[in-house]
Structure 1
Amino acid sequence: MMPDLGAYATEITLAYVTSLAMLAGLILWVWSRGHRVKQSLIALETRLNRTTQ
């Protein structure tokens, strides 16, 4: 159930939606960056293993 927000219902709802969208964007950005860093580390590890053998 949604509480009665009175005259500011639109602004409050918009603030919640904006906050959730920003949080989702941050989660996607962190996941994407983690994926890129993991790929970079794999490439570096492969390169280092080639030179040491």
Structure 2
Amino acid sequence: MTMSLGPYASFIVTSYLAAAIVVIILIAWVIIDYRSQTQRLRALEESGIVRRSGRSATDMR
């Protein structure tokens, strides 16, 4: 089964490849940022700083 894209085939293929590359880069960026943020949070918690959302309402008084 072959698909004829006509005279704009190179533009269509290039556009889809560019979009796929951008999506892959964004996914990688989110993964890297998530790991960085969890590492920073872990370092803060180890130094004694805790999240307010981690405490109960009675601890905040």
TM-score, normalised with respect to structure 2: 0.74
Q: Which structure's residues are more often helix, by fraction?
A: 1
Structure 1 or 2, whichever has the larger Rg, is 2
Instruction: Point out which structure has higher relative CO (alpha carbons under 8 A, 6+ apart).
Output: 1
Aligned length: 49
Identity %: 33
TM-score, normalised with respect to structure 1: 0.85
Unaligned runs of 5+ in 2: 50-61
Unaligned runs of 5+ in 1: none
Cα separation, 2, equivalents of 1:3 and 1:42:
52
**RMSD of aligned alpha carbons:** 1.4
